[in-house]
Amino acid sequence: MRTLPLLPAALVAVLALSATATACGDGGGTPGTRPGRGFSGSWSVESLTVDGKVLPAPAAARLSVEPGKGHEAEATGNYGCNGFTAAVVFDSAATMTVSPGAHTDMACPDLPFETAFAKLFRGSLTVERSLEKITLKAPDGNVIALSSKPPAPAAPLLATQWTVDSLIKGETASSVPADAEGRARFTLAADGTVSGSLGCNRFNAPAAVEGNRLTVGPLTTTRMACEGGPGELERTLTALFGSGPLDWKVQGDTLTLTATASGTAITAKAASAVE
């Protein structure tokens, strides 16, 4: 299990939200451009071209650019799983300089793409732009292709099987223990119940959704002895569900549940719809 420092606000938002930022521009529905220099707005990453090979981007890969003072800007984004920030200076109408900032470092399924994206989005880049496309080209000819295509719609909170993939405590986030990956799953049903696996034991409980708050009642579980990573994950989830009201947020295929009292949180991925 790998742990990482998070920015108190910016990168937590990137982890739970940047993966599905709405493609929009300077006050409008399509990405805008700054007069004379640069670009702004939120963009989907379509692909990378590295040494002549095209790497299709994960659905969550995104880049958002917010104008700052003069020709400076702030970038936030998602490599496909991990979030990042960067400082940007638009040197001219067709060039930009990127200085990487903070980033998360969770174990992710498409690390080759993430590594290539992180390596490309730095230093001097040439900008080629149109209304719906941005191409960022590195001096070695490698390319980041961006698009304003809208993100995939958010998965529904109810009737979706959610698989827990990361844990957040204070300013530290971590992937689930390696021997427990994919084992903690739950589904919120329309009849006011939640059921699934805590990582080892199965469970069910009453649940109530009011606005952005989720309250889970007492858990009824099986009684298997749980050790190692599954046991550790199970104890974490049991404590979270029993801690009182949880704030919930769905962005794309990612659900974030945060304990309102402690700030402890989990993220989970939409695995499949449940009939």
Number of domains in the chain: 2
**Rounded distance between C-alpha atoms, residue 180 and residue 242, angstroms:** 21
166 lies in the same domain as 142: no
The predicted pLDDT at position 129 comes to 87
Q: Which CATH number do you get for residue 117?
A: 2.40.128.270
Which structural domain range is residue 240 located in?
160-273
| Residues comprising the chain, all counted | 275
| Segment 53-61 long-range contacts (CB within 8 Å, at least 24 positions apart) | 55/112, 55/113, 55/116, 57/113, 57/117, 58/110, 58/113, 59/19, 59/151, 59/152, 59/252, 59/253, 60/19, 60/20, 60/252, 60/253, 60/254, 61/113, 61/117
**Rounded distance between C-alpha atoms, residue 124 and residue 242, angstroms:** 50
114 lies in the same domain as 185: no
- Domain membership of residue 155 (yes or no) is no
209 lies in the same domain as 179: yes
The predicted pLDDT at position 274 comes to 42
The predicted pLDDT at position 253 comes to 83
- Please answer whether residues 134 and 39 qualify as being in contact, where contact means their C-beta atoms are separated by less than 8 angstroms: yes
**Rounded distance between C-alpha atoms, residue 271 and residue 186, angstroms:** 10
**Rounded distance between C-alpha atoms, residue 159 and residue 28, angstroms:** 33
The predicted pLDDT at position 24 comes to 36
- Domain membership of residue 48 (yes or no) is yes
The predicted pLDDT at position 151 comes to 57
50 lies in the same domain as 27: yes
- Supply the pTM of this predicted model: 0.54
- Domain membership of residue 241 (yes or no) is yes
15 lies in the same domain as 131: yes
Spans of the chain, pLDDT less than 70 = 1-36, 150-152, 171, 272-275
187 lies in the same domain as 263: yes
Backbone angles phi, psi at 222, to 5 degrees: -70, 175
Beta-carbon contacts of residue 63 (< 8 Å; ≥ 6 apart): 42, 43, 45, 75, 76, 77, 121, 144, 146
